[in-house]
Structure 1
């Protein structure tokens, strides 16, 4: 498709040569999709029309334009949006709402990936900035020529400001897992030593050199994002400090599963046949824990190769009785 001629119809391109930043922004969007089109199936687009005369692209500044692709290996879909406006008047997506709770955000390009096994889109921002910092002070600080500091700070803002709201619970979640500056620089090898390239792996904020002859780093990164599992993508998010302690204190406070030990195979058979399990009252605080399930633990010492938890059941009733009344398993 991209081998045909290209005609651009848009009022935004009645430009002087000085307005290169806008032209670069547009070129980045076209080039990103050119790279993706080589490996993935284009499903739909809302701004491209094709006839014998070539490809006709109609874009309007401030209006979102989107291409949707399918990964032929995983059958997962993803989309690339230009002018992906995230408004304070958030978009209702059924079970969730997407937007910005504070100030409307306008990233240039947004990659949204729908991973199998997840009902949420993992989003990444790629913002075109036709500016680089070549000052000696900057190079000493960051390890070479690269994107401007204020543009990197904008990426942090995007990641923090664009959110999902769960319409059922009212809880807000970050949905942007990474944000990156695209900037015009030709030496990819030299840029690998730059702090803003290393920070991509460390915190998922950084920049990629992006020119007609400089696309390898960006292309490799796109393929990695699109083909990795939902677990790998999720692990790109940064955890809040204290989260581990919070999970221990709050999430595991509600302990509803009793893991019951077994003396031998005979007890296992009796428990399964009678559909019950017994333990000393001293072993569990029934007032503190609302036991809903019992899992029978077969120890390695007593069950050898059959060790583990194979059987579990939902608790229907709990009775406090004297030990000598449990006739199925006589006390020793």
Structure 2
């Protein structure tokens, strides 16, 4: 396949190659078409401008008419997570070639071989403008040339989606997203918002205005502001020249008449001087900028040593040294030797600083740096953290937003513990943000970012640990219900889409496998001797959040079946969209009080009834309660059938599957029932007395026509409906029959049945009764 880009100049030529370039182009087109957006323009930028370069893409030569700073490409070329091979070939007149980039990993990926510089770069999740420089000597001159192009994301819209992500993150993690020496940088539109002093942003702003500042100082040096300044000196009479005022003349005459020794007389003169407040201001600006560059370099050097590997290149530090040298050269100008260092503000409003050429520019630049505003435009660029890191934080905030829509209010917000790390911001000890929510129905939710579950079973203060390796999921959602129970879900943000699935956006297999790992690895330790299992798995669901695009209003989540069956799956999540599938999932779990017809306060049982939670190891069974008891009524049938229920010797009880599913909890709890409290209606006394409780030997589903008269009290040969058949064991008798107010179905506990004196004293398990 031909090169995707070729640039030829008088001294050098660059060829760029990658394989299967049409595949990412089609994915980019699909991403933007699905959003109804046009493809972003793709261009090359040159600094300094190139004179009559020859530029070709795989589609042919691109016409260049003049010296160019910006060349429009017919098709996008550079994409995330792709490897590109770069080769610079130099003419015979060129010597001492080198690559320039702030990142050492970029510089070290190139090597000089046979008169060319060759290197391979995979941009990974770094998107934005990639600025690559070459340094060489030609015709006894050192020449530096930079080439810039934009690396595009394939899963999102760079302009729309990431503007939303940056805005949300900046409110929660101020300044955290900015980084140093990434492969790419991003441009920023005009904004006005004060910030704390942050070296990385200050450096970006200074670089934006550096040339303007130096040029303005050149203008000032050529035509400095000066004014008549009062100067006091003392001189002998014979040294005084020119006219003198009358009072001084009288003093000199009196001194001569008195025949005193010659003395010096005080003279007040006015001379032009450049030691004005305005010039002292300009000197202060240069001095402060030079000092801050020195401080930044020291922090960057210390940070580079603390990474455990060299991350910043020598050319990055050489560029900062160059900036310092330029400022120092300006400060050594004869003008500033005559200017004092004692600038302590302007004693008056200076027309010179506001309007005079040079001074006005320096004043404006200093105000922007001093007020520390984001004043970014096309020429202002700064590295940000990778898309994967930004997407992870945004997913946390999106879940937070959806919980707010379900009526949860933030009770406590523990902001991210951000600390300065060299010239960047990081989270202290890897701990993230936690949100605590409450709702009027008593449900409490904790949403945590990157909680750490260590490997240490001796840390009794930790409820959840891992026995093998430390686990650190992206997002943990913990819900506490009014019955005291807690349920946990894990969400893991993955800025990835399976490239092999062409039918729809899907999650890579290894990301799904990681969800199985989280659910299996995390163990809840119960140290209290309360009869509960000392170890249990607290996470009932683990889900991937990924940037898939679907028509959620009309489609079905491709992971819907897996989520319901085993509690593992994923949800597409994109900025600027409703993200309905995740919202529906959360609504199903916690209900929405605003929808009164559908609202019912959930409790722990609601989540532990799901089949995905109740999958036991082969050969074992799982149950929520060890004494779950069904309260139900037996219909009047044959006399012998009725008699057995009245004297506590019944052996069988049957119930339509449809009735159980409608009145109680369907098949989710049927096999958990350990006892049956069966009562009968007495038509003579019109009483319903619950007296006997039976042990349940087995439960099975059977067709009604297969039930014998002994099992059902009669036979129905034409009824092919499904029934639950309980095989009853020995019964136990209450001391006093319990009178029931009407026909009742209920799931409760055996102890409650034996001790209750009133129907209302019975616990209602699984919140199902009638």
Partner of 2:619: 242
Checking the alignment, whether the CA contact within 8 Å between 1:8 and 1:58 is kept in structure 2 is no
Partner of 1:133: 498
TM-score for both structures, normalised by structure 2: 0.30
- Matches for 1:55-134 after TM superposition, within 5 Å: 59-60=427-428, 62-72=430-440, 74-89=441-456, 97-118=463-484, 120-134=485-499
Q: Which whole-Å CA distance do the structure 2 matches of 1:111 and 1:307 have between them?
A: 45
Q: Which whole-Å CA distance do the structure 2 matches of 1:66 and 1:10 have between them?
A: 19
User: SS at 2:576's partner residue?
Assistant: coil
Q: Which whole-Å CA distance do the structure 2 matches of 1:220 and 1:91 have between them?
A: 40
Measured at CA, do residues 234 and 192 of structure 1 come closer, stay the same or move farther in structure 2, by a change above 3 Å? farther
Aligned-residue offset at 1:60: 4.6
Which of 572, 595, 612 is equivalent to 1:209? 572
Partner of 1:287: none
Partner of 2:691: 309
Measured at CA, do residues 174 and 7 of structure 1 come closer, stay the same or move farther in structure 2, by a change above 3 Å? closer
Aligned-residue offset at 1:111: 0.4
Aligned-residue offset at 1:185: 1.6
User: SS at 1:35's partner residue?
Assistant: helix
1:42 matched to 2:410: yes
Which structure exhibits the higher relative contact order, with contacts defined as CA atoms closer than 8 Å and separated by 6 or more residues? 1
Q: Which whole-Å CA distance do the structure 2 matches of 1:48 and 1:313 have between them?
A: 60
Measured at CA, do residues 162 and 7 of structure 1 come closer, stay the same or move farther in structure 2, by a change above 3 Å? closer
Q: Which whole-Å CA distance do the structure 2 matches of 1:66 and 1:40 have between them?
A: 15
Measured at CA, do residues 58 and 76 of structure 1 come closer, stay the same or move farther in structure 2, by a change above 3 Å? farther
1:179 matched to 2:542: yes
Measured at CA, do residues 197 and 299 of structure 1 come closer, stay the same or move farther in structure 2, by a change above 3 Å? closer
Aligned-residue offset at 1:231: 1.3
1:159 matched to 2:159: no
Aligned-residue offset at 1:69: 0.1
Checking the alignment, whether the CA contact within 8 Å between 1:192 and 1:198 is kept in structure 2 is no
Partner of 1:189: 552
User: SS at 2:473's partner residue?
Assistant: coil
Query: 1:184-236, CA deviations, whole angstroms, 9 ceiling, x for partnerless residues?
Result: 12214399545423211221110100011332211221222234332121123
Q: Which whole-Å CA distance do the structure 2 matches of 1:83 and 1:106 have between them?
A: 6
User: SS at 1:106's partner residue?
Assistant: coil
Q: Which whole-Å CA distance do the structure 1 matches of 2:443 and 2:497 have between them?
A: 35
Greater than 6 Å deviation, 4+ residue runs: 295-298, 301-304
Partner of 1:269: none
- CA RMSD after TM alignment: 3.8
Unaligned runs of 5+ in 2: 1-166, 185-384, 418-424, 592-601, 628-643, 649-675, 693-732, 737-770
User: SS at 2:571's partner residue?
Assistant: strand
TM-score for both structures, normalised by structure 1: 0.65
Q: Which whole-Å CA distance do the structure 2 matches of 1:209 and 1:28 have between them?
A: 10
